[in-house]
Amino acid sequence: MEHPYLMFLGDVPDQLGAKTAQGIKDWRPDWCAGQMRLEGCQADLGLEDISLEEAVNRGVKTMVIGIVNSGGFLPEHWTTKIVEAMALGMDIASGLHIRLGNIPELAEAAEKYGRNLYDVRHPTEELPTGKGTPRGGKRLLAVGTDCSVGKMYTTLAIEKEMKKRGMNADFRATGQTGIFIAGEGISIDAVVADFISGAVEVLSPDNTDDHWDIIEGQGSLFHPSFAGVSIGLIHGAQADALVLCHEPTRTHMRGLPHQPLPDIQECMDLNLQTAKLTNPNAKFVGISINTSGLSEEDGDKMLADFEQKYGLPTVDAFRTGVAKIVDNL
């Protein structure tokens, strides 16, 4: 995929709906030429709102459909703008479950205008089943009390901090946003269930003793919708180190008002028990809390309280950085 990007947000109802676009903007801001929003959009990346014509004048090469939704579908009323973008010379990239080429209007436009359609969520290689065979190198995995709590941000921040210190580390993307940022990876939630753990083994293979794979987490063992993805990811990661990610202002699991959030200790215990199937020496090395919904004073107090209660370095990966977790490694 070529950049600069035009970040297309459609008319998503909240900021979290633009999670993919927000992640690209935060970690690759120099790739983003502007945003396009339809009427009613409730998300804002803080980029300039530009038209398709202005995007072309700024040299945009790819329109990125930077949204996430339950089911991974593309709303029909978005297709007109996407087709117009292709007519003006832009490729289209998406992290949604639905394949762009399976939408007749988009497939026809891509052929007519000679444009590329990129579905980063769909693996193109043959994947094995997981084996759980011990392998060299070290691996860190982010796990969470819920989905969308900061697992990608935490692992990207840890990789950045480790590289700043001259450590041998690589971020391994397991979701569409991470793939847009890293330029490679496997979107685990689009892998056939039997091959999830094998996909993660391929993503973080045998390596030298000083090398760390920093693996992006997905879902939560406590989320009825996504626990299946999480457990396969944990087994395939064979992680030496786990970091728990948490968003403290939620009253229930995302998208499920009837499902309460798990107790922190219960969540850590189950993740650790699950991880020990493929690495008996797995351990937690830190906690990462998204305190953006709290005042700075309340956020700092929560970080200190968690650190004292659980005996682990506790950070807000975005606000305070992750140096204390890397120290603990």
Edge-to-edge strand list for the sheet holding 211-215: 168-172, 211-215, 138-144, 241-246, 283-289, 314-315
Confidence at residue 204, expressed as pLDDT on a 0 to 100 scale: 97
Residues 6+ away with beta carbon under 8 Å from 57: none
- pLDDT tens digits along 273-286: 999 999 999 999 99
Query: Which 8-state DSSP code applies to residue 81?
Result: H
Confidence at residue 135, expressed as pLDDT on a 0 to 100 scale: 96
- Nearest alpha-carbon partner for 72 in 223, 180, 189, 151: 189
What are the C-alpha distances in Å from 126 to residues 133, 183, 253, 277? 19, 19, 33, 25
- Nearest alpha-carbon partner for 138 in 32, 213, 198, 77: 213
Confidence at residue 69, expressed as pLDDT on a 0 to 100 scale: 78
Confidence at residue 61, expressed as pLDDT on a 0 to 100 scale: 97
Question: How much helix, strand and coil, in percent to the nearest 5, is found in the chain?
Answer: 40, 15, 45
Q: What domains appear along the chain, each with residue ranges and CATH number?
A: 5-119 (3.40.50.720), 138-328 (3.40.50.300)
Q: What sign results for the dihedral spanned by CA atoms 97, 101, 104, 107?
A: positive
- Nearest alpha-carbon partner for 218 in 68, 102, 50, 34: 68
Parts of the chain with a pLDDT under 70: 71
Confidence at residue 19, expressed as pLDDT on a 0 to 100 scale: 87
Other CB atoms closer than 10 Å to residue 148's CB: what's the count? 19
Confidence at residue 224, expressed as pLDDT on a 0 to 100 scale: 96
Residues 6+ away with beta carbon under 8 Å from 247: 145, 146, 148, 149, 150, 289, 290, 293
